[in-house]
Amino acid sequence: MELDVLSVDAWAERVAGDLVERLRSEPTLRLCLPTGDTPAPVYAALATRLEAGEASLEHATVVLLDEWVGLDPDDPARCDGRLRRELLDRVSPGPAAFHRILVDELAPEEAAARHDEVAAGGLGLTLLGLGANGHVGFNEPGSTADGPTRVVTLEAGSGEAAVARYGAKRVPEAGITLGIARLLASDEIWLLVTGARKAEILDQALRGPMGPDVPASFLRSHHKLRVVADTAAAALVTRTP
């Protein structure tokens, strides 16, 4: 595991800059992307750089990490809409392909199965946020390292966050997420973590027992895990034991 701790001010620019480098060296990269408050400033910085011609998504493929079930297509909290607004619609050309999760077109189980097939085509770089409860994607506590891509019942806090933090018009009933097994099959993983409210859970994820209580802890078993945290989120991890 590699741990990069960056200043709050420099964090997003640095991650965006590293993504530019990756796209330049591997233009056909298959990227798995999350949404949420953590990656939003990275996407803003990345969009600016892509529009300045530093790199392009033209030959890259974007695979969405997760999606709510039960929100209208135009709900502001929808993950696909958010990724489009914050990144994909802001760059031209857009990616060669954007694989959203087909929650409007298919029954949830079918949409999950279809999305798993997409991810099975390979993920070169997976970006993840860290939930306050230790989830990655919607792999809530109780998820296992071999957990499949599936429909999940959300913890109350995760559903409520859709309304309180992301502006959802109703509490979503469930979510669809790539499973931990798929995430671990990615060639490389960057776990993005910012803010003091994530300090305790990041410490547990990196230094506590590896297990289903903190699903993000399973990422430690990956051979190419990079944790990119700001100083606020890394406050407990970097203290001497």
Binding footprint of ligand PGA on the chain (CB under 6 A): 36-38, 129, 131, 135
- Respond yes or no: is residue 139 known to be catalytic: no
Nearest one of 61, 64, 162, 173 to 114, comparing CA atoms: 64
Min separation Cβ 158 and ligand PGA, Å: 7
- The residue annotated as part of the active site, out of 67, 75, 86, 140, is 140
Helical (H) or strand (E) element with 120: helix 108-120
Nearer to ligand PGA, 94 or 131 (CB): 131
Per the residue annotation, which of 67, 75, 115, 135 is the catalytic one?
A: 135
Radius of gyration for the alpha carbons in the chain, expressed in angstroms and rounded:
17
Q: Which C-beta is closer to ligand PGA: that of 65 or that of 111?
A: 65
- As measured in angstroms, the least distance from the Cβ of 36 to ligand PGA is 3
Name the closest residue to ligand PGA (Cβ): 36
Token pair of 91 as six digits:
């760059």
User: Which of these is catalytic: 13, 58, 133, 200?
Assistant: 133
Confirm whether 135 is a catalytic residue: yes
Q: Are strands 125-129 and 30-33 parallel, antiparallel or unpaired?
A: parallel
Kindly state the DSSP code that residue 240 receives in the 8-state scheme.
-
Active site residue 9: no
From the number of C-beta atoms within 10 Å of its C-beta (0-12, 13-18, 19+), residue 92 rates as exposed
Task: Using the minimum distance from each CB to ligand PGA, give the nearer residue, 55 or 183.
Answer: 183
Could you tell me how far CA 191 lies from the centroid of its own chain?
A: 8
* Residues with active-site annotation: 66, 133, 135, 140
